[in-house]
Structure 1
Amino acid sequence: HQYYIDQHLLSCTNDFRDLGVIVDSKFNFNAHINNITHKASSRARLIVKCFTSKNKDLLVKAFCSYVRPLIEYCSPLWNPHYKYQITKIENVQRR
């Protein structure tokens, strides 16, 4: 279908974001999982880089405060079914 607003054609997309979760036209969450693992890995690297203290308890608390919410947000909705998706998410936590 083609949709118009004031005679301007709206572009079609295969992916859309709703409440922060990226979904494609086949109700697949691969783009969302790629996005959150990239963001979570970046934040985890920044935590290690920016904290001068290498106290394990402090780093774990920072990880739980700043990284885990990214990974766990709306997880019942996009629950990963495939092994490669689960592995990708767990790799962030292992690092």
Structure 2
Amino acid sequence: MSYDGYAWAGDLNEIGEVTRRAWEQTGELGEDIDLLRAVLFREQRSSRWAGGGLFGQRVPFDREPFVVALVARIRQLSGGSVARRSGYR
């Protein structure tokens, strides 16, 4: 992973939950690419600590609908390439 969401946002739980709830209600993710990358970072960390499936689910991480939506939106906003900034390793 090339993005350190902790460096960007600190506590990712609140922004992750707010973003997920908004997506579940509206299907939209907004235009803040750094926020979306931090939320994707949070989802990856949650999946890792849950043993692979997101929060114990058996859906593979890369097929979890919220993750798929995050990746698609990040690609759409970035054109497929994101410049390195602080918060990267």
Same fold judged by TM-score > 0.5?
A: no
Structure having the higher strand fraction is: 1
Structure having the higher helix fraction is: 2
Give the TM-score category using the shorter length. 0.3 to 0.5
Question: What TM-score, normalized by structure 1, do the two folds share?
Answer: 0.39
Question: What TM-score, normalized by structure 2, do the two folds share?
Answer: 0.41
Question: Which fold has the larger relative contact order, with Cα–Cα distance below 8 Å and residues 6 or more apart in sequence?
Answer: 2
